[in-house]
Amino acid sequence: MKRWKQSELVPVQVELNGVQRRGLCEPRVLLSDFLRDTLGATGTHVGCETGECGACTIRVDGVAQRSCLTLAVQADGRCIETVEGLAQADGSLCELQHALRERFALQCGFCIPGILMTCAEMLKRRPLPEDEQIPGLLAGHLCRCTGYTDLLAAVRHTVAEVRRREAAHPASAPSVGVHDA
């Protein structure tokens, strides 16, 4: 296998949770490994690395995708949001994270960073999904602990809260407490 010289490595610059970061990598490096190993952002978890488990899901330019099915070089110049960007600067959890905690929707927690990023994108795009659409949010994620029941309950709880707020203040546009990183 070719040994890449330092001078041959490809520079990759991303905006990670609002902060400009850059690093050097071989073209074959996955975005998930670049985030974790090069930039030290280990909140994104790597499970299967072949696009099945969904644990590595992040948002690139606002869109949820698997960072193990994206090359780091493809992300050059993009805006990346990971689970580290969901909580407020003071460490307080976002509404969705809070709901998961309240509903005991995580056990080992390995899959949760990816699940949060998919649900955050969907609820941002569509704060009030139809109830039958909610299980589809988890179609791209494997969780070996929860049986999904409490995860779905937490998402439904979040949606119900948005609906309740909208009923109380119909003038404001419905939105989920997932702030922009």
Partner 1 sequence: MRDFNFHRPASVAEAVGLLRKHSGGKFLAGGQSLLPVLKLDMADPSDLISLSGIAELRGIRVEGNTLIIGAGMRHAEVAQSPEVQRTIPGLARLADHIGDAQVRNRGTLGGSLAHADPAADYPAAIVALNGTVQTDRRTIAADDFFTGLFETALRPDEVITAVRFPVPTRCAYAKFGSHASKYALVGVMVAKTADGVRVAVTGAGPYAFRAAALETALGQSFSVAAIEALGENLGVRADDLNNTAEASGAYRKHLIAVLAKRAVAACL
Residues lying near partner 1 in the complex (CB under 8 A): 1-2, 4, 10, 26-28, 30, 49-52, 54, 57, 63-66, 68-71, 73-74, 118, 121-122, 136-137, 139-141
Question: At residue 102, what is the residue type?
Answer: E
**With respect to partner 1, which residue has the nearer C-beta, 54 or 177?**
54
Per the listing, tokens 């080992």 go with 108
Q: What is the DSSP string of 93-115?
A: PPHHHHHHHHTT--SS-TTHHHH
What's the min distance (Å) between Cβ of 60 and partner 1? 9
The Cα-based distances of 171 to 31, 161, 163, 174 in angstroms read 41, 16, 13, 9
**Could you tell me the smallest distance in angstroms from the CB atom of residue 150 to partner 1?**
20
Residue closer to partner 1, measured from CB, 2 or 169: 2
**Minimum gap (Å) between residue 171 Cβ and partner 1:** 27
Q: What angle do CA 22, 23, 29 make, to 5 degrees?
A: 125
* Sheet strands side by side (includes 63-66): 19-25, 10-16, 79-81, 57-60, 63-66
Residue 26 CB, nearest approach to partner 1 (Å) = 7
In the complex, least distance from residue 30 CB atom to partner 1, rounded to whole angstroms: 7
Q: CB-wise, 72 or 154, nearer to partner 1?
A: 72
Q: How far is CA 156 from CA 39, 131, 133, 176, 179, in A?
A: 34, 8, 10, 12, 19
78 or 165: CB nearest partner 1: 78
Identify which of residues 1 and 173 has a Cβ nearer to partner 1 in the complex: 1
> CA end-to-end span of the chain, whole Å?
39
